[in-house]
Protein backbone atom coordinates (compact mmCIF):
# COMPACT_ATOMS: atom_id res chain seq x y z
CA UNK A 1 0.00 0.00 0.00
CA UNK A 2 1.21 3.49 -0.75
CA UNK A 3 2.35 5.51 2.23
CA UNK A 4 2.92 9.26 2.66
CA UNK A 5 -0.34 10.21 1.01
CA UNK A 6 -2.70 12.93 2.20
CA UNK A 7 -5.31 10.22 2.82
CA UNK A 8 -3.23 8.30 5.33
CA UNK A 9 -2.09 11.57 6.93
CA UNK A 10 -5.68 12.62 7.44
CA UNK A 11 -6.55 9.21 8.85
CA UNK A 12 -3.68 9.46 11.32
CA UNK A 13 -4.74 12.92 12.52
CA UNK A 14 -8.31 11.73 12.92
CA UNK A 15 -7.12 8.80 15.07
CA UNK A 16 -5.19 11.11 17.38
CA UNK A 17 -8.30 13.27 17.72
CA UNK A 18 -10.43 10.21 18.46
CA UNK A 19 -7.94 9.13 21.12
CA UNK A 20 -8.35 12.44 22.90
CA UNK A 21 -5.19 14.22 21.85
CA UNK A 22 -5.49 17.99 21.85
CA UNK A 23 -3.53 19.64 19.05
CA UNK A 24 -1.58 22.64 20.26
CA UNK A 25 0.95 24.88 18.56
CA UNK A 26 4.53 25.06 19.78
CA UNK A 27 3.86 28.56 21.10
CA UNK A 28 0.92 27.26 23.13
CA UNK A 29 3.05 24.45 24.54
CA UNK A 30 5.42 27.05 25.98
CA UNK A 31 2.87 29.62 27.11
CA UNK A 32 -0.27 27.71 28.16
CA UNK A 33 -0.78 25.70 31.33
CA UNK A 34 0.04 22.15 30.29
CA UNK A 35 -1.96 19.63 32.28
CA UNK A 36 0.18 16.49 32.80
CA UNK A 37 -2.98 14.37 32.91
CA UNK A 38 -4.04 15.43 29.43
CA UNK A 39 -2.90 14.33 25.99
CA UNK A 40 -1.28 16.78 23.59
CA UNK A 41 -0.07 16.56 20.04
CA UNK A 42 2.40 19.08 18.68
CA UNK A 43 2.58 18.88 14.92
CA UNK A 44 5.65 20.58 13.53
CA UNK A 45 6.20 20.99 9.83
CA UNK A 46 9.53 21.85 8.31
CA UNK A 47 8.89 23.71 5.09
CA UNK A 48 12.13 22.95 3.30
CA UNK A 49 10.86 23.27 -0.26
CA UNK A 50 7.55 23.18 -2.16
CA UNK A 51 5.58 25.67 -0.04
CA UNK A 52 2.45 24.82 -2.06
CA UNK A 53 2.48 21.33 -0.55
CA UNK A 54 2.44 22.98 2.85
CA UNK A 55 -0.49 25.13 1.85
CA UNK A 56 -2.44 22.04 0.78
CA UNK A 57 -1.60 20.26 4.03
CA UNK A 58 -2.55 23.34 6.05
CA UNK A 59 -5.99 23.31 4.41
CA UNK A 60 -6.48 19.63 5.20
CA UNK A 61 -5.56 20.30 8.86
CA UNK A 62 -7.78 23.31 9.02
CA UNK A 63 -10.71 21.21 7.73
CA UNK A 64 -10.12 18.82 10.64
CA UNK A 65 -10.12 21.80 13.00
CA UNK A 66 -6.52 21.36 14.13
CA UNK A 67 -3.81 23.96 14.40
CA UNK A 68 -0.14 23.15 13.89
CA UNK A 69 3.22 24.91 13.49
CA UNK A 70 4.95 25.57 10.15
CA UNK A 71 8.70 26.26 10.24
CA UNK A 72 9.64 28.14 7.07
CA UNK A 73 13.06 28.34 5.51
CA UNK A 74 13.84 31.76 4.05
CA UNK A 75 15.50 30.63 0.82
CA UNK A 76 14.00 32.13 -2.31
CA UNK A 77 11.98 29.10 -3.44
CA UNK A 78 10.40 28.66 0.01
CA UNK A 79 9.91 32.19 1.33
CA UNK A 80 6.59 33.05 -0.31
CA UNK A 81 4.88 35.78 1.76
CA UNK A 82 1.39 35.15 0.30
CA UNK A 83 1.55 31.43 1.12
CA UNK A 84 2.91 32.08 4.62
CA UNK A 85 0.15 34.63 5.26
CA UNK A 86 -2.53 32.27 3.97
CA UNK A 87 -1.35 29.42 6.22
CA UNK A 88 -1.29 31.82 9.19
CA UNK A 89 -4.81 32.99 8.37
CA UNK A 90 -6.07 29.45 9.07
CA UNK A 91 -4.84 29.76 12.66
CA UNK A 92 -1.59 27.84 12.23
CA UNK A 93 1.56 29.13 13.85
CA UNK A 94 4.48 30.23 11.67
CA UNK A 95 8.03 29.66 12.90
CA UNK A 96 11.52 30.09 11.46
CA UNK A 97 13.51 27.17 10.05
CA UNK A 98 16.99 28.72 10.14
CA UNK A 99 20.22 27.56 8.55
CA UNK A 100 22.45 30.59 9.08
CA UNK A 101 25.69 28.89 10.00
CA UNK A 102 25.51 26.59 6.98
CA UNK A 103 24.49 29.56 4.83
CA UNK A 104 27.60 31.55 5.81
CA UNK A 105 29.97 28.58 5.85
CA UNK A 106 30.67 28.75 9.55
CA UNK A 107 31.21 32.52 9.84
CA UNK A 108 29.50 33.25 13.18
CA UNK A 109 29.32 37.03 12.78
CA UNK A 110 27.80 36.82 9.33
CA UNK A 111 25.55 34.00 10.52
CA UNK A 112 23.96 35.96 13.36
CA UNK A 113 23.31 38.85 10.95
CA UNK A 114 21.75 36.44 8.46
CA UNK A 115 19.62 35.04 11.29
CA UNK A 116 18.44 38.51 12.41
CA UNK A 117 17.75 39.62 8.89
CA UNK A 118 15.64 36.58 7.97
CA UNK A 119 13.83 36.59 11.31
CA UNK A 120 12.85 40.21 10.58
CA UNK A 121 11.66 39.32 7.08
CA UNK A 122 9.38 36.66 8.53
CA UNK A 123 8.23 38.97 11.31
CA UNK A 124 6.87 41.37 8.72
CA UNK A 125 4.33 38.64 8.02
CA UNK A 126 3.90 36.91 11.37
CA UNK A 127 5.06 37.49 15.01
CA UNK A 128 7.59 34.63 15.06
CA UNK A 129 8.13 33.08 18.51
CA UNK A 130 9.84 29.78 17.72
CA UNK A 131 12.74 28.52 15.63
CA UNK A 132 14.19 25.17 14.61
CA UNK A 133 17.36 24.36 12.76
CA UNK A 134 17.33 23.14 9.17
CA UNK A 135 19.89 20.34 8.98
CA UNK A 136 21.46 20.86 5.59
CA UNK A 137 22.84 17.43 4.79
CA UNK A 138 25.39 18.79 2.33
CA UNK A 139 26.95 21.24 4.77
CA UNK A 140 29.43 20.36 7.48
CA UNK A 141 28.06 23.22 9.60
CA UNK A 142 25.42 22.46 12.20
CA UNK A 143 23.45 25.67 12.54
CA UNK A 144 22.53 24.93 16.17
CA UNK A 145 26.13 25.70 17.07
CA UNK A 146 25.31 29.36 16.54
CA UNK A 147 23.82 29.25 20.04
CA UNK A 148 27.15 28.38 21.61
CA UNK A 149 28.09 32.01 20.91
CA UNK A 150 24.74 33.77 20.85
CA UNK A 151 21.41 33.48 22.65
CA UNK A 152 18.14 33.21 20.70
CA UNK A 153 16.20 34.27 23.79
CA UNK A 154 17.53 37.77 23.22
CA UNK A 155 15.37 37.84 20.09
CA UNK A 156 12.12 37.38 22.01
CA UNK A 157 11.98 33.73 21.04
CA UNK A 158 10.50 30.98 23.18
CA UNK A 159 12.13 27.85 21.86
CA UNK A 160 14.38 25.85 19.63
CA UNK A 161 12.97 22.34 20.19
CA UNK A 162 16.38 20.67 20.23
CA UNK A 163 17.22 22.60 23.39
CA UNK A 164 13.85 23.25 24.97
CA UNK A 165 11.83 20.06 24.68
CA UNK A 166 12.43 17.25 27.14
CA UNK A 167 12.48 14.23 24.83
CA UNK A 168 12.53 11.83 27.74
CA UNK A 169 8.89 12.86 28.22
CA UNK A 170 7.82 13.82 24.73
CA UNK A 171 7.72 11.19 22.00
CA UNK A 172 9.40 12.53 18.87
CA UNK A 173 8.52 11.12 15.47
CA UNK A 174 9.93 12.46 12.23
CA UNK A 175 9.46 11.59 8.58
CA UNK A 176 12.89 13.00 7.72
CA UNK A 177 14.16 11.43 4.49
CA UNK A 178 10.56 10.32 3.88
CA UNK A 179 10.77 7.40 6.20
CA UNK A 180 9.75 6.86 9.83
CA UNK A 181 12.56 4.44 10.44
CA UNK A 182 15.19 6.99 9.58
CA UNK A 183 17.93 6.94 12.18
CA UNK A 184 20.40 5.29 9.80
CA UNK A 185 20.00 7.94 7.11
CA UNK A 186 19.33 10.90 9.26
CA UNK A 187 22.38 12.97 9.93
CA UNK A 188 21.16 15.73 12.24
CA UNK A 189 17.49 15.43 13.04
CA UNK A 190 17.98 13.18 16.04
CA UNK A 191 17.01 13.48 19.67
CA UNK A 192 17.87 11.39 22.71
CA UNK A 193 14.57 9.65 23.05
CA UNK A 194 13.39 7.63 26.01
CA UNK A 195 10.99 5.72 23.79
CA UNK A 196 11.65 2.87 21.48
CA UNK A 197 9.20 2.51 18.65
CA UNK A 198 10.14 0.71 15.49
CA UNK A 199 7.92 2.29 12.91
CA UNK A 200 8.12 1.77 9.18
CA UNK A 201 4.69 2.70 7.94
CA UNK A 202 2.26 5.40 8.95
CA UNK A 203 -0.33 2.70 9.60
CA UNK A 204 1.93 1.36 12.39
CA UNK A 205 1.69 4.71 14.18
CA UNK A 206 -2.08 4.33 14.14
CA UNK A 207 -1.77 0.74 15.39
CA UNK A 208 0.63 1.69 18.23
CA UNK A 209 -1.76 4.46 19.23
CA UNK A 210 -4.58 1.93 19.43
CA UNK A 211 -2.48 -0.41 21.57
CA UNK A 212 -2.27 2.40 24.12
CA UNK A 213 1.52 2.56 24.23
CA UNK A 214 1.92 6.23 23.31
CA UNK A 215 2.89 8.80 25.95
CA UNK A 216 0.73 11.82 26.73
CA UNK A 217 2.77 14.29 24.71
CA UNK A 218 3.72 13.53 21.12
CA UNK A 219 5.70 15.80 18.82
CA UNK A 220 5.76 15.13 15.12
CA UNK A 221 8.11 16.69 12.66
CA UNK A 222 6.65 16.20 9.22
CA UNK A 223 7.90 17.59 5.91
CA UNK A 224 4.83 18.36 3.77
CA UNK A 225 6.95 18.06 0.61
CA UNK A 226 7.24 14.31 1.28
CA UNK A 227 3.47 13.87 1.13
CA UNK A 228 1.17 14.22 -1.82
CA UNK A 229 -2.39 13.75 -2.83
CA UNK A 230 -2.10 12.61 -6.42
CA UNK A 231 -0.40 9.52 -7.70
CA UNK A 232 1.96 11.07 -10.26
CA UNK A 233 3.42 13.44 -7.64
CA UNK A 234 3.64 10.55 -5.22
CA UNK A 235 5.56 8.35 -7.64
CA UNK A 236 7.96 11.14 -8.60
CA UNK A 237 8.73 11.90 -4.95
CA UNK A 238 9.14 8.22 -4.20
CA UNK A 239 11.70 7.74 -6.98
CA UNK A 240 13.83 10.79 -6.19
CA UNK A 241 13.75 9.89 -2.48
CA UNK A 242 14.92 6.36 -3.10
CA UNK A 243 17.94 7.65 -5.00
CA UNK A 244 18.72 10.36 -2.42
CA UNK A 245 18.50 7.97 0.53
CA UNK A 246 20.77 5.52 -1.25
CA UNK A 247 23.37 8.25 -1.71
CA UNK A 248 22.99 9.48 1.90
CA UNK A 249 23.54 5.97 3.27
CA UNK A 250 26.73 5.74 1.22
CA UNK A 251 27.97 9.11 2.49
CA UNK A 252 27.25 8.34 6.15
CA UNK A 253 29.05 5.01 5.91
Indicate the residue whose CB is closest to Zn ion: 134
E-strand stretches of 85-178: 93-98, 131-133, 170-174
Whichever of 16 and 224 has its CB closer to Zn ion, that residue is: 224
Q: For residue 101, which of 152, 64, 60 has the smallest C-alpha distance?
A: 152
Return all residues near 143 (Cβ < 8 A) that are at least 6 apart.
98, 99, 100, 101, 102, 103, 111, 133, 134, 135, 136
Question: Measured from the CB of residue 34, what is the shortest distance to Zn ion in angstroms?
Answer: 26
> Contact between 46 and Zn ion (CB under 5 A)?
yes
Whichever of 16 and 152 has its CB closer to Zn ion, that residue is: 152
Instruction: For the chain, report the end-to-end CA distance as a whole number of angstroms.
Output: 30
Report the 10 Å Cβ neighbour count for 215. 12
Whichever of 194 and 252 has its CB closer to Zn ion, that residue is: 252
The stretch among 13-21, 47-55, 192-200, 230-238 that binds Zn ion (CB under 5 A) is 47-55
> Contact between 45 and Zn ion (CB under 5 A)?
no
Binding residue (CB under 5 A) for Zn ion from 3, 48, 160, 225: 48
Whichever of 27 and 189 has its CB closer to Zn ion, that residue is: 189
Whichever of 48 and 160 has its CB closer to Zn ion, that residue is: 48
Return all residues near 213 (Cβ < 8 A) that are at least 6 apart.
197
Number of residues forming the site for Zn ion (CB under 5 A): 3
Residues that bind Zn ion (CB under 5 A): 46, 48, 134
Amino acid sequence: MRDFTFDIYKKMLQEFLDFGYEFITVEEYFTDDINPEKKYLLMRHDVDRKPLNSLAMAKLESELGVRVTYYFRTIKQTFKPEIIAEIASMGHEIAYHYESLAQTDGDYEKAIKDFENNLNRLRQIYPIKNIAMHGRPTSKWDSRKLWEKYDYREYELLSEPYFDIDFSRVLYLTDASRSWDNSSINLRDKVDSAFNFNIKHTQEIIDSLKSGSFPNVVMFNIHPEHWSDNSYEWYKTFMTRSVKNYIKRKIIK
